[in-house]
Amino acid sequence: MQTDTPHALEYAPPDVRSPSPTSSVGSSHPEDQTSLSDSEGMLSQPQFEQKWESRIGLGQPSHRELDAMKDPLIARPVPGSEEEKRYFEIFAMK
């Protein structure tokens, strides 16, 4: 089944422009600034990765995780201790 569209489909004319000059086609890069301690001749890939993982802290707990591992401000008293009895007396008053 063929359907006719009520409007004609016209495409925009193609862009016609002169080619880019040869000097602008290539790219130039500055000299390699890699330090000797990071060069492939000095470090293997695993050594390089280990060096930078430790330097930027990958695998280390974040500040948020370190805060979560700290003891709470009010530590729980030892069960059956005098401290536990006082703890419940104070909070039972509320």
> Domain locations in the chain?
44-70
DSSP symbol at 55? H
The pLDDT of residue 24: 64
The pLDDT of residue 61: 92
> How far are the Cα atoms of 29, 65, 93 from residue 76, in angstroms, in the given order?
62, 21, 18
pLDDT band with cut points at 50, 70 and 90 for residue 13: confident
The answer to pTM > 0.85 is: no
91: closest CA among 80, 77, 42?
77
Average pLDDT over residues 18-28: 69
Q: What is the DSSP string of 5-53?
A: -SS---PPPPP--PPPPHHHHS---PPP---GGGSTTTS-HHHHHHHHH
The pLDDT of residue 64: 93
- For residue range 32-84, list pLDDT tens digits in order: 787 777 777 788 889 888 988 998 988 899 999 999 988 777 777 888 899 88
- Residue 25, pLDDT > 70, answer no
